[in-house]
Structure 1
Amino acid sequence: MTLAVLLLVSSALPAQAASNRAKQRKLTDTQTLFTKAMRWGEFEQAWSVVDPKARESRGLTGLELSRYKQVEVTGYSEIGSMSEPDDIVVRVIEMRVVNRNTMAERTLRVRERWRWDEADGQWWLQDGLPDLWQGQ
């Protein structure tokens, strides 16, 4: 009986490890898609990886979209990331943004919270698009 339990457990460990690797790969792919979309000013595409619940509650208005179109993201670098309970990953980003009207560049830090949705098999950005104006 003990041998059977050990075999069952030992066969489950590689499957769990493979599942974790696949989930990590999916996170990397989703974050890469988001980073490229932000970097190239494709804010509608970046919006597509925002958590559907956040999209429903906040929406992306035409005014907000036009504000995003007034900036150019000149840098988007990950500073670090950490895992939290409940399949949440927090990523800290340093962004460099140029205002297209004034040509002034500024640097800001953004904290992204990514949530794994087991039902969809998808990582979602919980906080929406970054606030490039920091409340102004």
Structure 2
Amino acid sequence: MRLLKVLLLLCLCAVAGGALASKKTNELERNQYAWSGAVRWGEFEQAQNLIDPIYRKAHPVTALELERYKQVQVSSYRDVGSSLDKERGLAVRDIEIGVINRHTQAERTVRYREEWRWDPIAKTWWLTSGLPDLWDGM
């Protein structure tokens, strides 16, 4: 009887652990979707809410930088590869962003790597790589 109780308890722990891992994955997907949407539609001020507060404090975005983002239109946002390390609470997603200069109408593609970390206190995923550099290579 005691063995049965121990086995039942172990099964419950395994199920609970799986549910927690699934919840973390769902939260990551939800935050990545919100981030992608904000960047895709040019809502860079809104996107900053998903950036790690520690990173935001160390790398504040200036008003001038936000004005630069208004000079471009994002035409596409494609996930070209991703990885997730649930145990360490880290995720990486490689992105291709189509960018159109509003003044010249010239379009180009920029590569960007999203880096995410799980915050066990806030129970959320934070982006630790900051806003994408849409002028990379120019």
| Fold-level similarity (TM above 0.5) | yes
Residue 17 of structure 2 corresponds to: 16
Runs in 1 of length 4+ with deviation above 6 angstroms? Answer: none
Residue 131 of structure 2 corresponds to: 129
* Structure 1 residues 52 and 135: CA distance shift in structure 2, 3 A: farther
User: Aligned-residue CA RMSD in angstroms?
Assistant: 1.3
Residue 120 of structure 1 corresponds to: 122
Deviation (angstroms), 1:9: 1.3
Aligned residues: 136
CA deviation string 1:34-60 (max 9, x = no partner): 111111110001111000001000101
Residue 103 of structure 1 corresponds to: 105
Return the alpha-carbon distance in structure 2 between the equivalents of residues 107 and 101 of structure 1. Answer: 17
Return the alpha-carbon distance in structure 1 between the equivalents of residues 130 and 92 of structure 2. Answer: 13
Deviation (angstroms), 1:5: 2.8
Map 1:44-59 → 2, pairs under 5 A: 44-59=45-60
Return the alpha-carbon distance in structure 2 between the equivalents of residues 11 and 116 of structure 1. Answer: 24
CA deviation string 1:78-136 (max 9, x = no partner): 11110246210000111100011111100121111011101001110001101111265
Return the alpha-carbon distance in structure 2 between the equivalents of residues 120 and 54 of structure 1. Answer: 15
Residue 36 of structure 2 corresponds to: 35
| Matched residue SS, 1:4 | helix
Identity within the alignment, %: 47
Consecutive unaligned residues of structure 1, counting only runs of 5 or more, are none
Consecutive unaligned residues of structure 2, counting only runs of 5 or more, are none
